[in-house]
């Protein structure tokens, strides 16, 4: 887009300055016509004035044609920006708001406080809470359990402790593959800890009951557990004692016994072995480990069989509800953040459009203002040329000068120049306020 200064320089070059040489040329033209007593005293218009006005009209018309194209481009840009700011930006914000509302409605149906999933969980949580509270009121005490989260590591550690304690009881039979001894010893440790777990739990349940009829089932379970534990640890102690006797008394290896088919005799001897100090020590250690596991189980469990279950169910439901609430809150935050980011982007674009609108509007108004300035400037230059001509003409002629001499004003010449811009009251205010030419 051409700058107004470039348009002025290419179309109004003869009217921007008035050099002494140009002034002298116009004066000489007046002197030449004055000597010949031209123009006549009775003429209403003289040729030089006609030529000057015509030249000013032609040059200023060419200038305004180009200024008009620039003005139209700026006007089109202003109209587009006004439409975009007035309607497009508002519709974009509305679309973003509608998208946010749709996402929020979908989220409410899936995870909101009134969603089916959340209402079902809250109903279950209320039911579990009521059950736990009912048991607590019935017992007159809160839930009594200890080291809830350390219980499993303790029992696992006790099972691992059985490996170094019991593995030598099986070395006689698996001396060639000691790994199997480790596996069997660990398996026995797991079994013993399971028996200790159930035994301790049933002892605690039995202590919470008031009648022997209610305790009968738990007592039977405890007796059964003891009936399994005592023979097991006793057999392990006998195997260990027999292994020690075998190592001390036999001069052949276990592999040689296999070649001699004497394994059955060794097993029968192991069962009939009497416990010595080593065997009794192993039996005592095993019973101590099992006793520790049983005590841990007693402390771990509550006397009421359903109290912990109800409490844990309530806690589990509370955690699920809290997790869903966090998910809901996070999703709401993401939706709001995404919405705000989009709206901010639209607002920034709108602000940029407003800045562009101001620039385009100022440029459009400048076309009008500058055109009025140039119109007045061309009129002033035309008047100066007429004044130089009339001065030279009047000085050299003897007859009276025409009535049009020295009577021309700037406004009369300016009014004869073309003006593509409507002279509204606003334009007059602009033009009246600009009288100092750059």
Quick: pLDDT tens for 310-359: 888 888 999 999 999 999 999 999 999 999 998 888 888 888 888 999 99
Question: Looking at the structure, do residues 179 and 289 belong to the same domain, yes or no?
Answer: yes
Q: Is residue 145 part of a domain?
A: no
Q: Is residue 233 part of a domain?
A: yes
Q: Is residue 306 part of a domain?
A: no
- Provide the whole-model pTM: 0.55
Q: What is the pLDDT of residue 423?
A: 46
Q: Is residue 235 part of a domain?
A: yes
CA distances from 185 to 71, 162, 188, 292, 437 (A): 99, 6, 5, 18, 111
Q: Is residue 63 part of a domain?
A: yes
Question: Looking at the structure, do residues 293 and 207 belong to the same domain, yes or no?
Answer: yes
Q: Is residue 212 part of a domain?
A: yes
Question: Looking at the structure, do residues 292 and 156 belong to the same domain, yes or no?
Answer: yes
Domain count within the chain? 2
Q: Is residue 344 part of a domain?
A: no
Name the E strands within 282-407: none
Domain that holds residue 162: 152-300
258 pLDDT band, cuts 50/70/90, is very low
Question: Looking at the structure, do residues 173 and 286 belong to the same domain, yes or no?
Answer: yes
Question: Looking at the structure, do residues 245 and 372 belong to the same domain, yes or no?
Answer: no
Does residue 108 surpass a pLDDT of 60?
yes
Residue-level length of the chain: 438
| Contact indicator for 317, 121 with CB cutoff of 8 Å | yes
Domain boundary pick from 300, 335, 370? 300
Domain boundary pick from 300, 332, 363? 300
Question: Looking at the structure, do residues 68 and 207 belong to the same domain, yes or no?
Answer: no
Question: Looking at the structure, do residues 47 and 159 belong to the same domain, yes or no?
Answer: no
Does residue 82 surpass a pLDDT of 90?
no
| Contact indicator for 27, 86 with CB cutoff of 8 Å | no
């Amino acid at each position: 887009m051409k700058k107004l200064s470039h348009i002025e320089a290419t179309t109004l070059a003869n009217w921007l300055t008035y050099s002494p040489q140009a002034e002298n040329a116009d004066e000489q033209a007046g002197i030449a016509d004055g000597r010949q007593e031209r123009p006549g005293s009775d003429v209403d218009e003289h040729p030089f004035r006609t030529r000057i006005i015509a030249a000013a009209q032609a040059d200023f018309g060419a200038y305004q044609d180009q200024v008009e194209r620039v003005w139209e481009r700026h006007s089109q840009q202003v109209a587009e920006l006004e439409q975009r700011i007035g309607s497009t930006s508002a519709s974009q914000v509305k679309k973003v708001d509608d998208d946010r509302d749709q996402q929020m409605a979908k989220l409410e149906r899936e995870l909101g406080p009134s969603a089916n999933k959340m209402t079902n969980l809250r109903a279950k949580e209320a039911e579990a809470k009521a059950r736990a509270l009912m048991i607590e009121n019935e017992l007159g005490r809160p839930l009594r359990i200890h080291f809830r989260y350390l219980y499993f590591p303790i029992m696992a550690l006790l099972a691992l402790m059985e490996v170094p304690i019991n593995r030598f009881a099986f070395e006689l039979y698996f001396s060639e593959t000691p790994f199997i001894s480790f596996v069997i010893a660990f398996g026995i440790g797991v079994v013993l800890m399971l028996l200790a777990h159930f035994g301790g739990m049933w002892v605690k349940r039995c202590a919470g009951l008031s009648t022997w009829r209610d305790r009968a089932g738990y007592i039977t379970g405890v007796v059964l557990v003891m009936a399994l534990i005592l023979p097991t640890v006793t057999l392990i102690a006998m195997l260990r004692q027999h292994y020690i006797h075998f190592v001390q008394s036999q001069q052949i290896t276990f592999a040689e016994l296999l070649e001699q088919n004497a394994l059955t005799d060794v097993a029968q001897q192991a069962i009939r072995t009497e416990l010595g100090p080593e065997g009794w020590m192993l039996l005592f250690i095993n019973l101590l480990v099992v006793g520790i596991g049983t005590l841990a189980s007693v402390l771990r469990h509550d006397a009421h069989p359903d109290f912990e279950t109800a409490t844990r169910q309530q806690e589990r439901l509370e955690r699920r509800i809290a997790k869903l609430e966090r998910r809901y809150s996070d999703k709401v935050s993401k939706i709001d953040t995404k919405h705000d980011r989009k709206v901010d982007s639209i607002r920034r674009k709108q602000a940029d459009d407003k800045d562009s609108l101001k620039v385009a509007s100022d440029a459009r108004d400048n076309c009008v203002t500058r055109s009025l300035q140039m119109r007045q400037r061309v009129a002033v230059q035309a008047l100066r040329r007429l004044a130089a001509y009339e001065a030279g003409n009047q000085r050299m002629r003897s007859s009276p000068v025409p009535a049009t001499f020295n009577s021309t004003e700037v406004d009369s010449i300016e009014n004869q120049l073309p003006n593509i811009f409507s002279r509204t009251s606003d334009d007059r205010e602009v033009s009246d306020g600009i009288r100092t030419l750059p």
